[in-house]
Amino acid sequence: MKTVQLKKTTTSNWEYLSEHIPLKKPLVFVFGNRYMLESESILNEVQSLFKDGEFVFGSTSGDITSQYVDDESLTITAIEFEKSSFVINTANVLATGEKIDSYATGKKLIEQFEPEGLKHIFIVSEGSFINGSQLTLGMNTATQKDTLITGALCGDAARFEKTIASYNELPKAGEIVAIGLYGETLEVSFAINGGWTPFGPERIVTKSEANVLYELDNQPALDLYKKYLGEKSKELPAAALLYPLKVKSTDEKQSIVRTILNIDEAENSMILAGDILENSRVQLMMTNVDNIVDASEQAALQALETRNTKPDLAILVSCIGRKLVLDQRVEEEIEEIIEVVGEHTTICGLYSYGEIAPFSGEKSCQLHNQTMTITLISE
């Protein structure tokens, strides 16, 4: 595997972060600032750099390399697979103009892949309109031979206005890109870790619909949430990114962290990043910089545990909520991962509105929030 990385900021043109070497038919990730990706010239720009590349775009809440975490930039990571191949399929949840069906979209997207030899699927999904829980459920129903799926919901800094993605065209809203990796010698491993700690009483979800939470213990959910936040409730919905919910469903063994994306004062409800089922048990969560950094290190160690070969590429997907906690120390969680996987490994990724991966030791992917999700790839 060969890789090349470049970076462009709002005040500078494309600069190489790595050795400038020629690549044949590379997979080219273009991650970064949504405003910069909305430029009419962006597709021509990257195509001029890699004439025969296949381009996957995704807006972020910060793009990641081994050298930077940056909000005001675009990062290119171009990957030449020397022994493997890839196939890219897309779907758009806004294409029909009808009610968005995230489950059906996910199912149809994965069904497009030839299952023979398929080792892994990486998802770059829009993060504004999609129900990530339903998307992953649909994708899981379509997988064969326990194909692993990891990926990200795109971000838009902490603005939550809109996210964009695309494959070989100008980035647009509603787009989901799936990259299928094929190859006998291809080795892919993953891990997730959060570092958040629950506090306060456990409460029962007594009224919810999809990803909207109305009542906890038969009381308006938003009122209870504001009570716990105290003075910080004046900063909602932004403050909610620092106090997500631990959610444990009655039919699930593992707990999932759910970010609160918005609030509805009229309905006294909270809109979460993924589904929350009635009769689930929830608790507030909090964290600090050290816990987040330690969790990233643990994720890297877990991702390495089952590998036979050293990783050539590490795709990191962390959450916007983690980035807000880390603030000026944001690069520390990336540095911990580099220490574990080694400086020889190319690092790329994004801060997201949601992370896609199975729980450790499982096969079916889930939507996560507030985690560091690591995908390690080698040939």
Which residue ranges make up each domain of the chain?
2-192+290-378, 197-285
Class of domain 197-285 as given by CATH: mainly beta
Q: What is the rounded CA–CA span in Å between residue 126 and residue 91?
A: 10
The predicted model scores a pTM of: 0.94
Q: What pLDDT sits at residue 250?
A: 66
The three-state secondary structure class of 227 is: helix
pLDDT in tens, the chain (379 residues): 999 999 999 999 999 999 999 999 999 999 999 999 999 999 999 999 999 999 999 999 999 999 999 999 999 999 999 999 999 999 999 987 778 899 999 999 999 999 999 999 999 999 988 999 999 999 999 997 679 999 999 999 988 889 999 999 999 999 999 999 999 999 999 999 999 999 999 999 999 998 999 999 999 999 999 998 889 888 887 788 889 999 987 666 778 999 888 889 999 999 998 899 999 999 999 999 999 999 999 999 999 998 999 999 999 999 999 999 999 999 999 999 999 999 999 999 999 999 999 998 888 999 999 999 999 999 9
Q: What pLDDT sits at residue 159?
A: 87
Q: What is the rounded CA–CA span in Å between residue 375 and residue 352?
A: 15
Residue 270's DSSP bridge partners are: 213, 263
Report CA 235 to chain centroid distance, whole Å: 25
Residue 305's DSSP bridge partners are: none
CA dihedral 217, 219, 221, 222 (to 10 degrees): -160
